[in-house]
Every structure is written in structure tokens, then in C-alpha cells.
Amino acid sequence: MITHELFHTLHQLSRHLTNTLNEALKPLGLYSAQWSVIYVLKNKGSLTQKELCDYLFVEAPPMTRTIQRLVKQGYVTQIPGKDKREKYVQLTNIALQEYPAWEQIVNSANQELMKNFPLESREQLLQLQKSWLQQIL
């Protein structure tokens, strides 16, 4: 029987994964929230802040702070949209050059977290996650 434990265990797991990724990215001067934005922009291209918020399920104030940090680091730039309130966020050339190194760190952290799971279980987990996300996106 599924109870409130779903939320509890997912929250615990999410915090653990976030902390693990933060530790892996720390030497590069990035946090998991920044990596999430970078990853989405790399895979989806230029997006508005609202589109990033909607896709990552993050509220505007923390997204604004994350984007501001990435701008200061030289990893993203903001380009005015049609409406003066709208700004598109896109990766800079510096970020595109650094991306393979960042991705390698994230992949290593992922492999370390999954190393004790049989390959079949890893694939099932990924399929469950994708299926669940497709239902809500």
C-alpha cells in the first residue's frame, strides 16, 4: 500500500542526490541548481526565465538568483525578447567549452550512485522516471 512514504522517501532521496551532486560540482564552482539550468539550456536551447521555471518546477525568485550567478560566472547571457519584460537565457561560448568537463563530473557522480544497482534495475528506474515526468509535463 502506498502511503505518505512516497513523498517522504522521494524528498530524502532528492536531498541526497542534490547534496551528492553539489559535492561533485563544488571544485568547478557550480551547484546542482546551476547545473540544471545549464543542462536544460544545452539540450533545449535559449529559453525565457519563465520557461526555465516551468520546466524545472522552480519558482521565479530562486531561478533569478541562479541565473544571476551564472551571468556573473560568464556561463549564461540574457537577451531581450519581444516584450521588454521578457529575457531569453542562453549559454555563452565559455559554458559550451566547459560543458563536456561538467558533464563528465555529473556522469561520474551518477555512475557512483548507481554502481550497486543491477543494469536492469537502472533501466527500469529511468523508464519509470521518464514515464512519470511525461504525465506531468
pLDDT in tens, 3-34: 778 788 888 989 999 999 999 999 999 999 99
Q: In the predicted model, what is the mean pLDDT of the chain?
A: 92
| Average pLDDT of the segment spanning 94-99 | 97
Cell 561520474 appears where? Answer: 108
- Burial level of 119, CB count in 10 A (0-12/13-18/19+)? exposed
pLDDT band at 137 (very low <50, low <70, confident <90, very high): confident
pLDDT band at 136 (very low <50, low <70, confident <90, very high): confident
| Average pLDDT of the segment spanning 104-127 | 90
Distance CA 125, CA 128 (A): 5
| Average pLDDT of the segment spanning 101-125 | 90
Residue ranges and CATH numbers for the domains of the chain are 19-136 (1.10.10.10)
